[in-house]
Amino acid sequence: MARTGPLRGDSRKSPSRLSAQAREYAAETSLHGLKYVGEVKRTIPERLLWFILFLGSFILCLNLVYPIYEKYRDHPTITSIATTNYAIWNIHFPAVTVCSNNRVVASKFRLAIRRPP
């Protein structure tokens, strides 16, 4: 008894199933432009244009990211603390401002400024 279709767990898929999965992925992805490539209602030239634009932007992205990756790979960032024997009271604490949600009454504000401390 011979089977004609792909076996369960077989990594090979029929072209129509692979095409359907690719079309579903393109329709559901958040990668901008790729969903227009898989839309059936688009014409072939329009889908081809979207594919070229998507591929061009992907290549441009790689051209921008790769030099940064090479710099990271060749010159890794090393962070270290020179000394731990530093008094905590010598560390300047950043200024903190707490803003109230209550509106300022202008007359009371002027009165408070004129009053001596």
2 belongs to a structural domain:
no
34 belongs to a structural domain:
yes
Mean pLDDT by 10 residues, the chain (117 residues): 51 74 85 84 91 94 96 86 78 84 86 82
103 belongs to a structural domain:
yes
CB 38: neighbour CB atoms within 10 A?
A: 19
75 belongs to a structural domain:
yes
Q: 108 lies in which domain range?
A: 15-79+87-114
> What pLDDT, on the 0 to 100 scale, is given for residue 1?
47
> What is the rounded CA–CA span in Å between residue 33 and residue 57?
10
> What pLDDT, on the 0 to 100 scale, is given for residue 68?
94
95 belongs to a structural domain:
yes
58 belongs to a structural domain:
yes
> What pLDDT, on the 0 to 100 scale, is given for residue 34?
84
> What is the rounded CA–CA span in Å between residue 51 and residue 47?
6
33 belongs to a structural domain:
yes
> What pLDDT, on the 0 to 100 scale, is given for residue 13?
58
pTM assigned to the model: 0.50
Query: In the chain, how many domains are there?
Result: 1
